[in-house]
A and B are shown apart, each in its own frame.
Chain A
Amino acid sequence: AQRVTQPEKLLSVFKGAPVELKCNYSYSGSPELFWYVQYSRQRLQLLLRHISRESIKGFTADLNKGETSFHLKKPFAQEEDSAMYYCALSPPGSARQLTFGSGTQLTVLP
């Protein structure tokens, strides 16, 4: 069965410090992997998609197929990065049937 695990429910870092949000997954095959973010009182929105290999708002995520991980990283956290972050997977070629992790609430302290 497919599953996404985010081991940290809460994560606090100081402004300017590096941040890493962990995500591990299990899936039979090669899924699409995503990071979604939800800022306070805003709707859930896509942050990163592994296939695009982009850096968005300074965040990057590397897919490690051997470890089945898709950790989200940023070298210097900003206060505006405080939000709930969800790792998610879907069948290849789509973003239509997402399996989400339980989310990590990131707080960046001043």
Chain B
Amino acid sequence: KNEVEQSPQNLTAQEGEFITINCSYSVGISALHWLQQHPGGGIVSLFMLSSGKKKHGRLIATINIQEKHSSLHITASHPRDSAVYICAVISTSGTYKYIFGTGTRLKVLA
């Protein structure tokens, strides 16, 4: 079982829909990082959070440390949001380690 699991793996939505991407992890962490990767593109940092909630524009990220779960929400989705969203955790066990999920591929249709 992967230490960081994302769901769903693939998601297709209509423009304007509210989208939720989930990330669950099984290790102790000090922070969680949400990243975005457009097709054929580089990887861009969205949020790093260790508690509570962060918001930037139409993106909201939340984390529940006790439940070992984080969500990334996109409000009023747009075709330009189509990308792979990657969850990564900074593990506190052993040597410092960034552990990545396999990503959620989002496609937003106009």
Do A and B share a complex? no
